[in-house]
């Protein structure tokens, strides 16, 4: 899935249960092709120069309940990088 919104270009991979898992190199290669097409489109439409000012790679791994965990107590394998901020109720 490709999204172009608010000055950002997002390239997302959506998997299917039982489908092949593409590793970073595969997704990065596909992103390169999409980026080239996007830059070509901008040039074709004479919409200005493409000048990226930020690069970001985000990896999210969906681990469904019932696979390696059943209850939140089972999340001991997850260790955040720092303290989570407290949730303050609004209103």
The domain segmentation of the chain, as residue ranges, is: 1-49
Kind and range of the H or E element at 76?
none
Residues 42-70 have a mean pLDDT of: 82
User: Which value, to the nearest 10 degrees, does the dihedral of the CA atoms of residues 73, 78, 84, 88 take?
Assistant: -40
Torsion sign over Cα 20, 26, 30, 31: positive
pLDDT at 60 over 80: no
> CA-CA distance, 15 to 23, in Å (whole number)?
12
Residues 2-31 have a mean pLDDT of: 80
Q: pLDDT by residue (tens digit) across 71-82?
A: 888 887 666 666
pLDDT at 85: 65
The two structure tokens encoding residue 35:
């980026």
């Amino acid at each position: 899935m490709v999204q172009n919104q608010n000055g950002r270009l997002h390239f997302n991979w959506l998997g299917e249960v039982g489908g092949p898992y593409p590793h970073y190199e595969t997704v990065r290669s596909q992103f390169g092709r999409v980026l080239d097409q996007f830059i070509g489109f901008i040039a074709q439409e004479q919409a200005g120069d493409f000048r990226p000012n930020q690069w970001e790679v985000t990896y999210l791994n969906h681990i469904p309940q019932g696979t390696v965990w059943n209850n939140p107590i089972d999340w001991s394998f997850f260790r955040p990088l720092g303290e989570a901020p407290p949730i303050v109720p609004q209103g």
